[in-house]
């Protein structure tokens, strides 16, 4: 797809929806149109086929392919976009039958990510995702003739070229992974450094456009990009949030999720998502003003399962309550979802309550202890100040009496050297 469309020469796309259930129609339509807007495409029209069993050669039935060919021609569309992931063979067959460029949902999302990637790490991750998507599809970019030649002659030019290309892509993928590992190493070291503090790690997780960056800005007075465009955030940002009574947390804003998030993206963004994997707990931000918030909520939970972190403690944050009319509905949700709060990140409503929830969680995480430290080991008192929260300290004849709180990690490190009371 052309990534740099200007107002005058937007790529014209005709959409094909293939969702099975009619109750999903509105969400599916609105979401794909938003994705197209974000990518700078002009939607000319759409059609739909309920696909329960796919016709593997073209994904949809022959008759429908003919119909699309007609529509796309009448609409003067440049491209036909399928709201699903297609195989390379399917794309090629559809292109041959329709006579237009055919792209799938994954390519569209990868395209948006490519436009959004500003940092070195973001760019590496997107490139890795694009190449991983391309790899199994390389075969289908060769013409029928070349493929036949390769097949019959076994070592025809088509096949040789394919193998060279495959090797090149493979080498590039290995190189990208190495570079990403390098960036990841830097991030790991930074995380280790932060771990020395007595502050738990939390991440903001949620569907794209749920309001994660807006909440981060409200809580940390940052100026992160918060926009109605999908996938405004790609790179994680971490800030310390001071809480009452001297408590704090490190909070990280992360990339948003979407229904049917391409697996290549999840794999490529693993380094970024590791911020989530390493966090002690997370806030799941839900856009309650979205008519399909439940589907979005389920899609995020589905993705979290893939990250094998279902057991991680979570505070559910129902956001955008300023855009709701029915307060009793919110009340009902809070009652039926344990550990949840309702806020408006934009207007600041409910933020104090959210902070109280976070502080309660942090308090539960820290280990409280009292100890007598011999004067000869007074550096431990210093460490408690540095890596913990000192509640009381009393310098007596027989030693320093200290009452403090530490994260489990720091407690383990220090406790075997202390005479815990
Ligand atoms: N009415 C209302 N709008 C909000 C609220 N919070 C965020 N928004 C709007 O929702 C849109 C998306 O907000 P972001 O903060 O960028 O959402 P995000 O979750 O960071 O999105 P991605 O980075 O794309 O995943 C923006 O237009 C915000 O102004 C809220 O409490 N109320
Ligand atoms: Mg964001």
How far apart are the C-alpha atoms of 31 and 51, rounded to whole Å?
Answer: 19
pLDDT at 151 over 50: no
222 alpha carbon – ligand 2 mean position (Å): 12
Q: Which of 122, 204, 211 to mutate to test the pocket of ligand 1 (most atoms within 8 A of CB)?
A: 211
Half-sphere exposure in the Cβ direction for 230 (13 Å, CA): 24
Rounded average pLDDT over 255-284: 86
pLDDT confidence band for 236 (50 / 70 / 90)? confident
pLDDT of residue 418: 61
Residues with CB under 5 A from ligand 2 (ion): 212-213, 232-233
48 alpha carbon – ligand 1 mean position (Å): 30
pLDDT of residue 186: 87
Q: Which atom of ligand 1 is nearest to the CA of 234?
A: 23
Among all chains, which residue has been given the structure tokens 């599916």?
28
pLDDT confidence band for 141 (50 / 70 / 90)? low
Kind and range of the H or E run holding 41: strand 41-48
Chain-wide mean pLDDT for the chain? 85
pLDDT at 419 over 60: no
Q: Looking at ligand 1, which residue's alpha carbon is closest to its atom 30?
A: 320
**73-77, 95-99, 151-155, 284-288: least confident range:** 151-155
pLDDT confidence band for 420 (50 / 70 / 90)? low
Q: Which ligand is nearest to the CA of 116?
A: 1
Q: Please check whether residue 315 is in contact with residue 284, taking contact to mean a CB–CB distance below 8 angstroms.
A: yes
pLDDT of residue 27: 86
pLDDT confidence band for 140 (50 / 70 / 90)? low
pLDDT of residue 79: 94
Rounded average pLDDT over 316-340: 94
pLDDT of residue 369: 86
pTM (2 d.p.): 0.84
253 alpha carbon – ligand 2 mean position (Å): 7
Which are the contacts of 279, defined by CB distance < 8 A and separation ≥ 6?
Answer: 201, 202, 203, 252, 312
pLDDT of residue 149: 44
**CB environment 358-376: b (16+ within 10 A), e (fewer):** bbebbeebbbebebebeee
**58-72, 141-155, 223-237, 368-382: least confident range:** 141-155
Q: Which atom of ligand 1 is nearest to the CA of 257?
A: 25
> First CA to last CA across the chain, in angstroms?
67
pLDDT of residue 145: 45
Q: Looking at ligand 1, which residue's alpha carbon is closest to its atom 24?
A: 231
14 alpha carbon – ligand 2 mean position (Å): 28
- The per-residue pLDDT for range 27-74, each reduced to its tens digit, is 899 999 999 999 999 999 999 988 777 678 898 988 899 999 999 888
pLDDT of residue 298: 93
240 alpha carbon – ligand 1 mean position (Å): 21
213 alpha carbon – ligand 1 mean position (Å): 7
Q: Which ligand is nearest to the CA of 226?
A: 1
Q: Please check whether residue 205 is in contact with residue 257, taking contact to mean a CB–CB distance below 8 angstroms.
A: yes
Count H helices and E strands in the chain, helices first: 15, 14
Rounded average pLDDT over 356-374: 88
Q: Please check whether residue 65 is in contact with residue 94, taking contact to mean a CB–CB distance below 8 angstroms.
A: yes
Q: Please check whether residue 253 is in contact with residue 285, taking contact to mean a CB–CB distance below 8 angstroms.
A: no
pLDDT of residue 7: 53
**213-217, 269-273, 315-319, 353-357: least confident range:** 269-273
- The per-residue pLDDT for range 157-195, each reduced to its tens digit, is 555 677 788 888 899 999 999 998 898 888 889 888 887
Pocket lined around ligand 1, Cβ cut-off 6 Å = 206, 208-214, 226-228, 230-233, 256, 319-320, 322-323, 344-346
Rounded average pLDDT over 75-86: 92
């Amino acid at each position: 797809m052309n990534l740099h469309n200007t107002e005058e020469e937007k790529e014209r796309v005709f959409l094909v929806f293939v969702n099975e259930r009619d109750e999903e129609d509105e969400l599916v339509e609105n979401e794909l149109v938003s994705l197209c807007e974000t990518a700078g495409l002009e939607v000319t029209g759409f059609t739909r086929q309920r696909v329960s069993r796919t016709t593997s050669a073209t994904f949809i039935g022959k008759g429908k392919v003919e119909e699309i060919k007609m529509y796309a021609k009448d609409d003067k569309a440049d491209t036909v976009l399928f709201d699903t992931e297609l195989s390379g063979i399917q794309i090629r067959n559809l292109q041959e039958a329709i006579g237009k460029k055919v792209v799938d949902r994954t390519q569209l999302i990868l395209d948006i990510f490519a436009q959004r990637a500003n940092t070195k790490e973001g760019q590496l991750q997107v490139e890795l995702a694009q190449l991983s998507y391309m790899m199994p599809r390389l075969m289908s970019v060769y013409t029928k003739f070349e493929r036949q030649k390769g097949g019959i002659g076994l070592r025809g030019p088509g096949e040789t070229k394919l193998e060279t290309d495959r090797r090149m892509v493979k080498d590039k993928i290995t190189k990208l992974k190495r570079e990403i590992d390098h960036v990841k190493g830097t991030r790991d070291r930074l995380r280790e450094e932060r771990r020395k503090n007595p502050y738990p790690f939390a991440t903001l997780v949620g569907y794209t456009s749920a309001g994660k960056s807006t909440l981060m800005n409200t809580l940390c007075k940052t100026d992160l990009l918060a926009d109605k465009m999908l996938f405004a955030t790609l790179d994680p940002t971490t800030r310390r949030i001071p809480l009452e009574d001297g408590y704090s947390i490190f909070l990280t804003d992360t990339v948003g999720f979407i229904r049917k998030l391409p697996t290549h993206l999840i794999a490529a963004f693993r380094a970024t998502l590791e911020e989530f994997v390493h966090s002690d707990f997370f806030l799941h931000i839900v856009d309650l003003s979205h008519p399909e918030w439940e589907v979005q909520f389920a899609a995020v939970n589905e993705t979290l399962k893939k990250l094998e972190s279902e057991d991680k403690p979570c505070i559910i944050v129902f956001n955008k309550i300023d855009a709701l009319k029915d307060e009793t509905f919110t009340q009902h949700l809070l009652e039926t979802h344990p550990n949840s709060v309702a806020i408006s990140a934009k207007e600041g409503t409910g933020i104090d309550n959210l902070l109280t929830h976070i502080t309660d969680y942090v308090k539960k995480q820290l280990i409280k202890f009292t100890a007598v430290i011999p004067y000869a080991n007074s550096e431990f008192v210093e460490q408690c100040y540095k890596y913990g929260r000192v509640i009381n300290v009393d310098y007596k004849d027989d030693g320093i009496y200290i009452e403090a709180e530490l994260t489990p990690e720091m407690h383990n490190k220090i406790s075997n050297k202390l005479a815990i009371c």
